[in-house]
Amino acid sequence: MKLCFASRNPHKHREIAHILGDAFQLLTLDEIGCREELPETASTIAGNAICKARYVWQRYGMACFAEDSGLEVDALNGAPGVHSAHYAGIPPDTKANIERLLKELQGISNRKAQFRTVIALILPHGELHTFTGTVSGWITPVPRGEQGFGYDPIFQPEGHHLTFAQMSLQEKNQVSHRRRALDAFLNFLHNHPCIRR
């Protein structure tokens, strides 16, 4: 039984592979012959995770999981949220996304925010399961750090002095939204012998 991880984001692949280790036999989109863009047409993070997983299951007949993530800022009513990747426009531009977010928060003292990940898993017969992970923190006044990706340089998780971009992969993976969603996902998979290696 093989499981495809339906994502084109190499940073997500790296973080997920680090957490999963060799517990499961994961296939990439390239390995199943999927070269096209996956649809992300829903209006919520969970909806987009389901969209991507369902697309791969329907077209390629593979058990698979996808994840969608976003940064939700309290003072911006949850923006950029589902629009995190394209906050400053298309094509996605990480530096411009960060600049826009810092500009929107200029003069605002409430810097509370959370990262959210939703994983959508589709089993061989089409059964859908979702798993959510969140981590709360603050948006820093200026970017700090070079590691990670996306909004990591301006997100400082609660209880830490460092931004995600100042942490090693191991440190980020101990507390991240992705880690928390993966813990719930793993717990489920361990109880489903058909998926185990």
| Runs of H (alpha helix) within the chain | 10-20, 45-60, 94-104, 169-175, 177-190
Q: What angle do CA 166, 159, 172 make, to 5 degrees?
A: 40
Residue 152 a catalytic site member: no
* Nearer of residues 9 and 44 to ligand ITT, judged by Cβ: 9
| Runs of H (alpha helix) within 61-168 | 94-104
Site string for ligand ITT, 52-81 (x = CB under 6 A): ----------------xxx-----------
Site string for ligand ITT, 95-134 (x = CB under 6 A): ----------------------------------------
Site string for ligand ITT, 3-42 (x = CB under 6 A): ----xxx--x---------------------------x--
User: Footprint of ligand ITT on residues 140-169 (CB under 6 A)?
Assistant: 148-152, 164
* Nearer of residues 74 and 93 to ligand ITT, judged by Cβ: 93
Size of the site for ligand ITT (CB under 6 A): 19
Does the bond joining 153 to the residue before it have cis omega, within 30 degrees of 0?
no
The closest alpha carbon to 61, from 123, 134, 141, 130, belongs to: 123
Which tokens sit at 154?
A: 């301006």
Please state whether beta strands 26-27 and 3-5 pair in parallel, antiparallel, or not at all (unpaired): parallel
* Nearer of residues 103 and 125 to ligand ITT, judged by Cβ: 103
Cα(30)–Cα(44) distance, rounded to whole angstroms?
A: 26
- Catalytic residue annotation: 68
Residues that bind ligand ITT (CB under 6 A): 7-9, 12, 40, 68-70, 84-85, 92, 148-152, 164, 176, 178
